[in-house]
Structure formats: structure tokens, C-alpha cells
């Protein structure tokens, strides 16, 4: 393998993000009926609008306090819009949040991702994650990996960056500096590290700024001019002789 460590983005990289399920409106109704015994106080559209307004305010507050790329906590944002959820016990509230996210989009493991991960793991390459994420992301990724016979433990626990745990997100350079420092403890240099992601601004450019190598996951030629392609092309590139 060309690298000693490979760090992956999650959404639109490990996980393909699709349109909401066709019965999203019915699921929205049922979610409130089952969890709260009441119809939803707002439509899905109104909920989304209010959520965006809360997020915008909190991002502005964080930026005013010197955090250029803030990450908000999804549970508190949802509570700001739907305060009646505060009466749910913690496990039921967490389940509500998870189901609510599944109404908004569909997820599946990207084609070819499992094979690439398996080959890298078998070759002893250190695998990590750099994800703009929320707590439900771990559950979503765990479920998708399980469907391919893999599990989250294949990603080194010390080389996983979840933005919701840190209060800031990609493309903040501290995301990549934090991971680089943890890799350095393992004796892995930036030039021996590969970042795999779909976005130039969040993944490719900030990783290159730290001296990492990159692969842009895309079906089109990379506008950055570097290595790019789908998962199968990535695996073929990785196993080529150095």
C-alpha cells in the first residue's frame, strides 16, 4: 500500500446520501404520534426552516467568539424548535432524533467502499475518520458498515475526529492538525497520510495544507488536478507499486 494511514470523510464519501424516503410525510406524522402521542406541531418544511434559523444564529454567535468553523449540537437545536421533546426520557429523545434524521434523507454504503476498507484493513493500514458530524452519525455509519460485514472498530479510536465532540468542524485546520499530531505519536508522517473525501473545500484543500496526500472521491475529473475517482479507482491506485 502507498500509505500508512488513510483518513475518511463520512457523508458523500463512505455513505451515499439520497433523497428522503417516499413516505417521509407519513413517517413525520407517525414519529410524533408514537413518541409524544400528538400530531406534529409543525410541518417538515416549517421544521427545516426554523432549524436553519437557529443554526444560523448559533453559528454567528460562535464566529463572534472566535470560532471560524463552528459545530452546533443537534439535540439543543431541535429542542429550541420543539421544546415539548424535553419531556422525553433521554433514550427516547435520542431515538426521536435518530428517526427524525432518517426521514430527511436515505443513506447507504457507497459502492466499492467496503471492499476498499477491507483491503486496507487487511494490509495493516491505520484507518481514521474526519467528519462533520452529530452523535447520530456514529449510529448511521455503524449500521451501514454492519450491512457489509464490517464494523466501526476498524477505524482507530484515537484517529477519529467527530465535529460534534469538539465544537468546531472542517475545514478548520485544527481538525487536521489534531489528527496529524495523533498520527505523529504513531510515527506516521504527513506525507504517509492520505485524506479521502468528496469536497475540495472541506477535505482536499485543508488536508493538502497540512502536507497530506489526497484523493477526491468523485465521478468527474477533479478540479483540483490531483488524484480523483470512484472507490474502485481509489483501490486500484492504492495497490499499485510505489
List, for residues 188-203, the tens digit of each pLDDT value: 999 999 999 999 999 9
Please give the pLDDT value at position 240. Answer: 83
Averaged pLDDT, 124-136 = 98
Burial 44-83 (b: 16+ CB within 10 A, else e): beebeebbeebeeebeeebeeeeeebbbbebbebbbebbe
Residues 71 and 176 in one domain: no
Question: Using an 8 Å Cβ cutoff, are 175 and 139 in contact?
Answer: no
Residues 123 and 194 in one domain: yes
Comparing CA positions, the residue from 78, 86, 88 lying closest to residue 35 is 88
Residues 186 and 73 in one domain: no
Please give the pLDDT value at position 223. Answer: 58
Share the mean pLDDT of the chain: 95
What is the count of structural domains for the chain? 2
Please give the pLDDT value at position 177. Answer: 97
Give 168's DSSP letter: B
CA-based angle 140:146:149, to the nearest 5? 150
Please give the pLDDT value at position 225. Answer: 67
**Full residue range of the structural domain in which residue 113 is found:** 5-16+108-238
Residues 113 and 229 in one domain: yes
Q: At a CB cut-off of 8 Å and minimum separation 6, what does 189 contact?
A: 183
Q: What is the CATH number of the domain that holds 202?
A: 3.40.50.1000
Give yes or no for residue 30 having a pLDDT over 70: yes
Burial of 15 (0-12, 13-18, 19+ CB in 10 A): buried
Residues 99 and 112 in one domain: no
Amino acid at each position: 500500500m502507498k500509505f500508512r494511514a488513510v483518513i475518511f470523510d463520512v457523508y458523500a464519501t463512505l455513505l451515499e446520501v439520497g433523497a428522503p424516503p417516499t413516505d417521509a410525510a407519513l413517517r413525520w406524522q407517525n414519529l410524533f404520534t408514537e413518541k409524544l402521542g400528538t400530531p406534529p406541531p409543525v410541518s417538515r418544511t416549517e421544521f427545516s426552516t426554523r432549524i436553519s434559523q437557529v443554526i444560523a444564529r448559533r453559528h454567528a454567535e460562535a464566529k463572534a467568539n472566535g470560532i471560524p468553523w463552528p459545530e452546533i449540537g443537534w439535540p439543543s437545536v431541535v429542542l429550541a424548535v420543539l421544546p415539548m421533546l424535553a419531556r422525553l426520557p433521554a433514550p427516547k429523545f435520542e431515538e426521536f432524533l435518530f428517526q427524525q434524521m432518517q426521514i430527511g434523507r436515505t443513506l447507504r454504503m457507497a459502492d466499492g467502499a467496503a471492499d476498499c476498507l477491507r483491503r486496507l484493513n487487511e494490509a495493516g493500514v491505520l484507518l481514521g475518520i474526519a467528519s462533520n458530524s452529530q452523535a447520530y452519525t456514529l449510529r448511521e455509519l455503524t449500521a451501514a458498515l454492519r450491512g457489509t460485514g464490517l464494523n466501526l472498530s476498524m477505524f482507530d479510536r484515537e484517529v477519529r475526529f467527530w465535529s460534534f465532540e469538539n465544537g468546531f468542524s472542517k475545514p478548520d485546520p485544527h481538525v487536521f492538525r489534531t489528527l496529524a499530531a495523533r498520527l505523529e505519536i504513531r510515527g506516521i508522517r504527513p506525507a504517509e497520510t492520505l485524506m479521502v473525501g468528496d469536497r475540495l473545500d472541506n477535505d482536499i484543500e485543508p488536508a493538502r495544507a497540512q502536507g497530506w496526500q489526497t484523493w477526491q472521491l468523485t465521478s468527474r475529473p477533479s478540479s483540483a488536478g490531483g488524484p480523483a475517482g470512484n472507490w474502485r479507482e481509489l483501490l486500484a491506485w492504492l495497490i499499485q507499486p510505489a
